[in-house]
Amino acid sequence: MTDWQQELDNNFTGILISEAEIKKKIEELGRQITAHYASLDADQLIVIGILRGSVLFLSDLIRELKMPITIDFMAVSSYEDKVQSSGTLRIIKDISESISQKHVLVIEDIIDSGITLRCLKDMLWARNPRSLNICSLLDKPARRQTNIEVDFRGFEVPDEFLVGYGLDYAGRYRHLPYVAILNPEVYSNG
């Protein structure tokens, strides 16, 4: 067994969502999103990925969208290598183009407290988009501290510390093709 495999075995209590389950859900979300924007007669969609966690999800999801899109990114922070959100939103990288009078779809890896996304959504609405929807692979409603509507949701997940498929702990484990539950001993000691 490699040191890496040993680390995974020691640091995870189990895999919550498999690679195959994620793939199937993304195909389903792609159909839903395509149908939604077709019903709006949208000629183009701006997809905004929230860095860094959404990168894997966004990359797989946009290949399932059957319509013209452009892609942009924002980097925001409210965790700063901590387990819980600080509640303060910091814009690290803003989008590059105007969203005024355009259809916008924000892609998130997970919605936890909802505080970060609520602030982000309010800020984007002030830029006058034609429509603004949220798509998140994971939704953790047990931790919700503010009212935020998720228009397209992959999986509702339990109140556990999750890593993999874009989710990290202190920058690690984002590249894993599945979502795993991090052993509490890892973050309670670190």
**Best-predicted range by mean pLDDT among 5-9, 39-43, 81-85, 175-179?**
175-179
Q: For residue 35, name the pLDDT band (cuts at 50, 70, 90).
A: very high
- 46 falls within a domain: yes
What pTM did the predictor assign? 0.90
Q: Using the predicted structure, report yes or no on whether residue 133 has a pLDDT greater than 90.
A: yes
What's 97's domain CATH number? 3.40.50.2020
Q: Using the predicted structure, report yes or no on whether residue 105 has a pLDDT greater than 60.
A: yes
- 94 falls within a domain: yes
Identified catalytic residue from 9, 43, 72, 112: 112
Annotated active-site residue 159? The verdict is no
DSSP for 22-73?
HHHHHHHHHHHHHHHHHHTT-S-EEEEEEETTTHHHHHHHHTT--S-EEEEE
| pLDDT at 84 (0 to 100) | 54
How many domains is the chain built from?
A: 1
- Here the tokens at position 165 are 């498929």
- 187 falls within a domain: no
φ, ψ dihedrals at 158, nearest 5°: -75, 170
- 171 falls within a domain: no
